[in-house]
Chain A
Amino acid sequence: MTVSSQNASALAPVFVRLKLSLIKNGLRQSGGRQAAYITSAVLALLFAALQLLGLIALRGSEHAGTVTLLLVALMALGWTVMPLFFPSGDETLDPTRLVMLPLRPQPLVGALLAASLVGIGPLFTLCLILGSAIAVAHGAGAVVVAVLAVPLALLVCIALSRAVAAANTRLLTSRKGRDLAVLSGLVIAVGFQFVNFGAQRLGESGGLSALDPVADVVRWLPPASAIGAVGSAGEGSYGQAVLQLLISAVTLGLLLYAWQRSLVKLMTTPDGSTLAASEASRKESGGKGLTSLLPEGRTGTVMLRTLRYAWRDPKTKAAWITSLAIGLIVPALNALQGHGSVYFACFATGMLGMQMYNQFGQDTSAFWMVLLSISSTRDAYLELRARAFALLLVTLPYTLLVTAVTAGMLGDWTKLPEVIGLALALLGAMLATGSVASATLAYSIPQDSRKNVAPGQGGIAFLSILGGMVVSAILCAPMIALAIWLHVSGNHGSLWLLLPLGAAYGALIAWAGLKVAAPRTANRLPEILTAVSTG
């Protein structure tokens, strides 16, 4: 080991070998992991190769500049947010493991940067950047610039990721960081909806020229500015090319400096994960105002706890935000694309109604506190009703909002009353089936993983949610039939009747569902506790 020589050029090979050994040993641990790694590696490389070919094929196209700039910018964005969502992705990324070694910061940063270049991710990125450079490099000058620009852009991506990770190590190893990681799946899911929509819009508007104004800004932002420099050199504007290269180079320097500073701070101060937790003395939470508005007794107490959990518990919060976001995105996007209907607004109600399912699983094994306080069917009824009320507090206004937004976007206000009526009937049916399913088909939600069902309980979860939705649809059938009949028979003047009828019908079914669920809950308390405690 030449570690003591304090020389970056000597240290770098040591770290690169360390990284390779870590990858190799990680693979040796299990066959499944090996298979997964090889599969993902092959797929990533295949994709990278195709992308490389595609980008080269793009050469000469009038939109080549725009596409390459945006691709590189997106890639850089990916590298920036990745450490926040996958904090434990790379062990060499954890500088706290190197604290006991006699290393100076500067050589260490160099060596860590070199080690970071090893892996599928960097190789994939290299393919993309190389392809982009080839696509836009016209002329000898551009090729010279590209030789500098490609490694520069790659290094900026990696340094960006490392600097963000080092700056946030404290956060990422704390409880808050783990909470954030649970929420990450949600960001990806919602983000995917937008990307999907954006791609559709692009396809419809018939061209990439819509993106040109964005590219004009991005060409000055590192590391895309390095690729922009290749394009500028190809067009003969060498001054602009040098400036763009310089922007990326200076950024790389700043990032490395920031990374080094975070490293020094991390390695010379005690681990703050416990300190940070204890100093955070929360002030009296905003629940005070809400407490005075909620009714006394079990109803208000349970509602307040449910609402606090919707906000503070990462799993519950993720479920709520997904429902709220998807519930709005689906009807709104369909309306935007012009082939929607106001009836799509019921989607939001359905998504939020699903929160009523597996109520006690959401409590985790803390359900024992509820168990000890329920000694009669009446208690169980009040408990379930309070949870339904908490749900209604959000769902009712949201249903009205989504329906109004969808109707407004489609300019179809006449359908508003009937859709709200049907949504309320659906909501009542979901609350009813949800409370019965909570009592009879409870399952655990593991708290420390991204999974939403404990191993072995997938069948119960499937039966609970799918069965519940089918039964909800059947329960709503009378209202749906009435709506169809009014439409078919031409009684459009009476369609508003669906609003009061739907509201009354929904309330009636919800009440009946709670009445059916309450004795089942009260009689099965120990069984429910066992079912929700396995995760």
Chain B
Amino acid sequence: MPDQAFEKTADTAGGARTAPPAVRVQGLWKRFGEQIAVAGIDLELPAGKFIGLVGPNGAGKTTTLSMVTGLLRPDQGRVEVGGHDVWRDPVAVKSRIGVLPEGLRLFERLSGRELLGYSGRLRGLPGAEVDKRAAQLLDVLDLAGAQHKLVVDYSTGMRKKIGLAAALLHNPEVLFLDEPFEGVDPVSAQTIRGVLERYTASGATVVFSSHVMELVESLCDWVAVMAAGRIRAQGTLAEVRGDATSLQNAFLELVGANGRSAGDSLDWLGGGAR
């Protein structure tokens, strides 16, 4: 199936887009002891889209994103970003991706501005350019007032924003964000959204994970649904949603959680004191 799809794009070389997929994953496996976190997934994420990776907690989203970005070595399988193998050609891949992981620290004893300066220079950008971009990012992300504060004193929302700034600084082609809106206040969430929408409008790809369906439905044009270490569905939002009224309902159907209502077992609950 994937091969067919690929040939099709190759055939229409004269058409609008001939670019390879932003991310291609084949037969990816990861086991932690007894537990299988990711059970052989295949994914093909189109370039230039806002892509959502959705699934319940423990579905393997973070493990998958970690393996795709080179933070975790898979037991088996291949990952390509922009046509380059993540594990065989790290030079080409690492310069093309930006990452905001979940559950890992930043260099918190640097100020926000110092963190961006460090991150940009480490990636080989000239110092003056780093400082210019950092100033603009801090401004747009509403962090200018806190730029000289240590990151350790930042709130959750501010941390996500400075992490996003560090991930964007070298202008990557593909941005991977693990739960970028988790624990973020509505104002910061709106700021992050604005920046991400502008970024994808320029032709770049955003892949982000979330378990909030409404958010994914309102942001993404392409969705992959994960549960218990497997991909249950992938495609455009309309394809995945199908006949269901919302992505939430489609998702519950896919992971088989629908119809698990309380039934009669809680019939005493509510309806006046008894």
Report if B44 contacts A (CB, 8 A): no
Hey, what's the 0/1 contact readout for B150-164 against A, CB within 8 Å counting as 1? 101100000000000
CB distance from B159 to the nearest CB of A (A): 12
Contact A365 B122, beta carbon cutoff 8 Å: no
Q: Which of B83-115 contact A (CB under 8 A)?
A: 90-91, 93-95, 97, 99, 101, 103-111, 114
- When chains A and B are docked, how far (Å) is the Cα of A312 from the Cα of B107? 11
Contact B70 A277, beta carbon cutoff 8 Å: no
- When chains A and B are docked, how far (Å) is the Cα of A417 from the Cα of B150? 44
Report if A389 contacts B (CB, 8 A): no
How many residues of chain B have a CB within 8 Å of chain A?
39
Return the contact of A305 from the options B73, B107, B145, B148 (Cβ within 8 A): B107
Contact A301 B107, beta carbon cutoff 8 Å: no
Return the contact of B72 from the options A304, A309, A369, A526 (Cβ within 8 A): A526
Contact B73 A533, beta carbon cutoff 8 Å: no
Contact B106 A366, beta carbon cutoff 8 Å: yes
Contact B149 A526, beta carbon cutoff 8 Å: no
Report if B166 contacts A (CB, 8 A): yes
Report if A247 contacts B (CB, 8 A): no
Report if A373 contacts B (CB, 8 A): yes
How many residues of chain A have a CB within 8 Å of chain B?
41
Question: With A282-B148, A284-B148, A296-B127 known to touch, is A368 a contact of B101 (CB < 8 Å)?
Answer: yes
Report if B69 contacts A (CB, 8 A): yes
Residues of B contacting A301 with CB < 8 Å?
117-118, 121-122
Q: Which of A498-527 contact B (CB under 8 A)?
A: 525-527
Question: With A308-B114, A368-B71, A526-B72 known to touch, is A373 a contact of B127 (CB < 8 Å)?
Answer: no
Q: Which of A346-377 contact B (CB under 8 A)?
A: 363-366, 368-376
- When chains A and B are docked, how far (Å) is the Cα of A376 from the Cα of B70? 13
Contact A175 B104, beta carbon cutoff 8 Å: no
Residues of A contacting B103 with CB < 8 Å?
365
Contact A281 B73, beta carbon cutoff 8 Å: no
Report if A280 contacts B (CB, 8 A): yes
- When chains A and B are docked, how far (Å) is the Cα of A366 from the Cα of B109? 11
Q: Which of B134-157 contact A (CB under 8 A)?
A: 145-146, 148-150, 152-153
Contact A297 B124, beta carbon cutoff 8 Å: yes
Contact A298 B72, beta carbon cutoff 8 Å: no
Report if A285 contacts B (CB, 8 A): yes
Contact A372 B99, beta carbon cutoff 8 Å: yes
Contact A375 B91, beta carbon cutoff 8 Å: yes
Question: With A280-B149, A284-B148 known to touch, is A529 a contact of B71 (CB < 8 Å)?
Answer: yes
Residues of B contacting A375 with CB < 8 Å?
90-91, 93-95
Question: With A277-B153, A312-B150, A375-B91 known to touch, is A298 a contact of B71 (CB < 8 Å)?
Answer: no
Residues of A contacting B152 with CB < 8 Å?
175
Report if A313 contacts B (CB, 8 A): yes
Contact A281 B148, beta carbon cutoff 8 Å: yes
Residues of B contacting A297 with CB < 8 Å?
121, 124
Report if B248 contacts A (CB, 8 A): no
CB distance from B63 to the nearest CB of A (A): 12
Report if B31 contacts A (CB, 8 A): no
- When chains A and B are docked, how far (Å) is the Cα of A296 from the Cα of B127? 8
Contact A298 B121, beta carbon cutoff 8 Å: yes
Report if A339 contacts B (CB, 8 A): no
Kindly report which residue of chain B lies nearest to residue A283, judged by CB atoms.
Answer: B148
Residues of A contacting B117 with CB < 8 Å?
301
Kindly report which residue of chain A lies nearest to residue B123, judged by CB atoms.
Answer: A373
Contact A282 B105, beta carbon cutoff 8 Å: no
CB distance from A528 to the nearest CB of B (A): 11
Q: Which of A168-186 contact B (CB under 8 A)?
A: 175
16 A-B pairs within 8 Å (CB atoms) are namely A175-B152, A285-B148, A297-B121, A297-B124, A298-B124, A302-B122, A305-B118, A312-B109, A365-B103, A369-B106, A369-B118, A372-B94, A373-B119, A526-B71, A529-B71, A529-B72
- Give the B-binding residues of A (Cβ under 8 A): 175, 277-278, 280-285, 287, 296-298, 300-302, 304-305, 308-309, 312-313, 363-366, 368-376, 525-527, 529-530, 533
The 4 closest A-B pairs by CB, nearest first: A375-B90, A301-B121, A312-B109, A373-B122
